[in-house]
């Protein structure tokens, strides 16, 4: 079934007694837990290029954004895993900074880009592997990543990261773009895993994501890195999530192809 964007209504941002996770498209995530609102790798701003409106990465979209940086009513923090154009949105960050003044957090190259946008240093948090910090009711742990896809200028460890979010309703893991690392297999107690379906260099891909799902114990797997950008099939943006199904057939987990903007609500305590 083709994806259909579900616009995110204002009431999503009102405090509820559960945790809600939304896939924004591509690698973007929105989490709302007990009134704390966190974005991970959001690209939610459009620009004009050659007389055409495109995503700020320069890509045409297959379907509309579920929300934009200019309309989102509340954000406590924007977390960014690395500076690839499909993960770090400078336009998104600039608009959020001007409108809502959230905390921004990411590894050193991300912080360098945020500094270029003249975001106040007191609202920029540089993170490193295993760092832990709080955003409202959410505890964030920084997980390692190695995304050395570019042979000429490869990302090193500490240039990229993932984020593990412990909320009152459960634990959410967005591993970012990374190869499978030994350290990943030691992470357990995850409830929701963002499942990278991209069959591409230096990504978890279907096989690595399946190993991660098995080791971390997640009951809900949210497919990402597909179905958003108007690109040719395959590669980091156009892989088919159905190719993952045989790899997770023995897992006690739901493989979710959420529509952009569609919330997954859960509450471990209720």
**What's the pLDDT score for residue 235?**
79
**What's the pLDDT score for residue 260?**
98
**What's the pLDDT score for residue 267?**
83
**What's the pLDDT score for residue 270?**
39
**What's the pLDDT score for residue 1?**
62
**What's the pLDDT score for residue 152?**
86
The span from the CA of 8 to the CA of 25, in Å, is 13
The span from the CA of 130 to the CA of 143, in Å, is 6
Give me the residues of the chain with pLDDT under 50, please.
269-270
User: For the CA atoms of the chain, what is the radius of gyration?
Assistant: 17
**What's the pLDDT score for residue 234?**
81
**What's the pLDDT score for residue 50?**
86
Q: Phi and psi (nearest 5°) for 230?
A: -85, 85
Sign of CA dihedral 64, 69, 75, 77: positive
Q: CATH fold of 10-257, please? A: Metallo-beta-lactamase; Chain A (3.60.15)
């Amino acid at each position: 079934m083709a994806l259909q964007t579900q616009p995110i209504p204002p009431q999503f941002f009102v405090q509820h007694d559960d945790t809600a996770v939304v896939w924004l498209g591509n690698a973007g995530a929105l989490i709302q837990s007990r009134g704390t609102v966190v974005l991970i790798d959001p690209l939610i701003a459009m620009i004009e290029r050659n007389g055409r409106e495109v995503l700020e990465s320069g890509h045409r979209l297959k379907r509309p954004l579920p929300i934009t940086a200019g309309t989102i009513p509340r954000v406590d923090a924007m977390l960014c895993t690395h500076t690839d154009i499909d993960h770090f949105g400078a336009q998104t960050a600039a608009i959020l900074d001007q409108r809502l003044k959230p905390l921004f957090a990411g590894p050193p190259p991300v912080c360098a880009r945020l500094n270029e946008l003249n975001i106040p240093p007191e609202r920029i948090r540089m993170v490193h592997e295993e760092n832990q910090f709080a955003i409202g009711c959410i505890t964030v742990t920084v997980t390692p990543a190695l995304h050395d896809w570019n042979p000429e200028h490869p990302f090193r460890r500490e240039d990229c990261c993932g984020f593990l979010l412990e909320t009152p309703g459960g634990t959410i893991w967005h591993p970012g773009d990374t190869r499978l690392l030994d350290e990943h297999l030691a992470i357990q107690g995850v409830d929701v895993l963002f499942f990278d379906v991209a069959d591409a260099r230096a990504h978890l891909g279907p096989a690595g994501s399946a190993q991660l799902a098995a080791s971390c114990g997640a009951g809900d797997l949210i497919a990402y890195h597909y179905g958003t950008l108007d690109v040719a099939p395959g590669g980091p943006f156009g892989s088919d999530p159905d190719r993952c199904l045989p790899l997770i057939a023995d897992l006690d987990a739901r493989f979710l192809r959420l529509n952009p903007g569609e919330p997954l609500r859960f509450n471990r305590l209720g």
